[in-house]
Amino acid sequence: MSNTSENPNPSSSSAKITLKTSDNELFEVEEAVAMKFCTVKQYFEDEKDNDVAARGSSTVIPLPNVHSAVLARLISYCKKLPQSNAVADNHEEEETKKKERKQYGTPGDLVDLISAANYLDFKEGLEFFNQALADHIQNKSVEYVRKFFGIKGDFEPHEEEKYREEYAWAFEGVDED
Amino acid sequence: MNSVKDGFFPDEVIFQILARLPVKSLFRTKTVCKRWYRLSSDKYFIQLYNELSVKNPMVLVEVSEVSESKSSLICVDNLRGVSEISLDFLNDRVKIRASCNGLLCCSSIPDKGVYYVCNPMTREFRLLPKSRERPVTRFYPDGEASLVGLACNLWTQKFNVVLAGCICQWLIALVDG
């Protein structure tokens, strides 16, 4: 199966690059989109240098760390660039942006999106999804955050207690898990 | 709920997520584990946090009722709305004399010559070393500095406090904790 990124203007002959995900799906994406992923860009440029005989668009770039479901989301996000990372001007706008950030998937999906964006060295995507994850955990309890990230608290109980007393204000008004 | 295996995200990603949390959440999140505590206390992280928060400036408004001697402080956050904040953590009745880069310089109302530099968001404060005893003059009978300035050198991350009375002037350098 091949997922082709839609070209809104068929007459423009932009080059396509084929990406192969961990589950062996092929994605044919516009060069401009693929070049947002610095890891892909690097690979592409290295290939070009190694093989001047213009294998060109027939080159398939393997992405062994990225699943097709995640890549599809990243590509759809790419198309909304660049306005999505601009800082909101006011409270209302920020709320709209928060909702928009929520639309990309469940908090669990965000973890996959961040991992993939990090692997692909996709800066704008990382910023966006990191913010979405920060939105998700910002009103959560420490226990929730630990569970979410699969982290075991390693402070001595008395150390943690001392910190909680000192910064009691930071532990007020936390959402129910 | 999906959970991620501990150590799933590299330090750089954790930095980027934590840097997008509001101050209150950040201070709570510090207790998740020792690694996160260490990362969020890192010099690089503090710089990153400051760089991102500059994009969302807040305004502190002091509201004083004519009839009452007490005034209240309202924090207007562009993104998160309006909230009331208090300087009660100083355990003193104070007057705000200067502000710079999120820090306030306050003078004690009952104790002349007592100055604090505080961060109203983290509720951390430093009592400034008492300046040498000032002679009570007929111009400034209560020994109160007439001008108070707070300045920040972003390069060195040092704050300077300047107090000026009618004849004396001195500098106190503080390292931002």
Contact A107, A149 (CB under 8 A): no
Range of the domain at A155: 141-172
Distance from B27 to chain A by nearest Cα, in Å?
6
Q: Are residues A147 and A77 in the same domain?
A: no
Residues in contact with B24: Cβ distance below 8 Å, sequence separation at least 6, in sequence order: A169, A170, B121
Task: Give the predicted TM-score (pTM) of the model.
Answer: 0.80
State whether A153 and B9 contact (CB < 8 Å).
no
Q: Are residues A119 and A153 in the same domain?
A: no
pLDDT, one tens digit per residue, over B76-117 is 887 778 888 899 999 999 989 998 888 999 988 888 888 899
Give B11's pLDDT tier (boundaries 50, 70, 90): very high
Position A37, amino acid: F
Q: Are residues A124 and A148 in the same domain?
A: no
The token pair that represents B14 in the structure block: 């954790």
Contacting B with CB below 8 Å, chain A residues are: 87-91, 94, 106-108, 111, 114-115, 118, 126-127, 130-131, 133-134, 137-139, 141-142, 145-155, 160, 163-164, 167, 169-171, 174
Q: Are residues A38 and A61 in the same domain?
A: yes
Does residue A157 lie in a domain region? yes
Contact B33, A151 (CB under 8 A): yes
How much is the ipTM here? 0.83
Does residue A135 lie in a domain region? yes
Question: Nearest CA to B105 among B177, B61, B160, B164?
Answer: B160
Question: Nearest CA to B148 among B131, B124, B123?
Answer: B131
Which residue is it, tokens 């890891």? A39
Does residue A177 lie in a domain region? no
Omega within 30 of 0 (cis) for the link into A82? yes
Q: Are residues A73 and A146 in the same domain?
A: no
Does residue A85 lie in a domain region? yes
Report pLDDT for B68.
66
Q: Are residues A112 and A164 in the same domain?
A: no
Q: Which residues in chain B touch residue A160, judged by CB atoms under 8 angstroms apart?
A: 31
Q: Are residues A94 and A152 in the same domain?
A: no
Q: Are residues A86 and A110 in the same domain?
A: yes
Q: How many domains does chain A have?
A: 2
Q: Are residues A134 and A146 in the same domain?
A: no
Q: Are residues A44 and A104 in the same domain?
A: yes
B7 to chain A: closest CA residue: A151
Contact A113, A122 (CB under 8 A): no
Position B98, amino acid: A
Question: Nearest CA to B64 among B90, B103, B93?
Answer: B93
Distance from A133 to chain B by nearest Cα, in Å?
7
Q: Are residues A107 and A145 in the same domain?
A: no
Distance from A171 to chain B by nearest Cα, in Å?
6
pLDDT, one tens digit per residue, over A47-84 is 777 765 455 556 789 999 899 999 999 998 888 775 66
CATH of the domain at A77: 3.30.710.10
Q: Which residues in chain B touch residue A151, judged by CB atoms under 8 angstroms apart?
A: 6, 32-33, 36
Contact A79, A7 (CB under 8 A): no
Contacting A with CB below 8 Å, chain B residues are: 1-6, 8-10, 12-13, 16-18, 20-22, 24-25, 27-34, 36-37, 55-56, 77-81, 123
Report pLDDT for B153.
79
State whether A91 and B78 contact (CB < 8 Å).
yes
* Nearest-angstrom CA–CA distance, B20 and A7: 34
pLDDT, one tens digit per residue, over B28-58 is 999 999 999 999 999 999 999 988 888 888 8
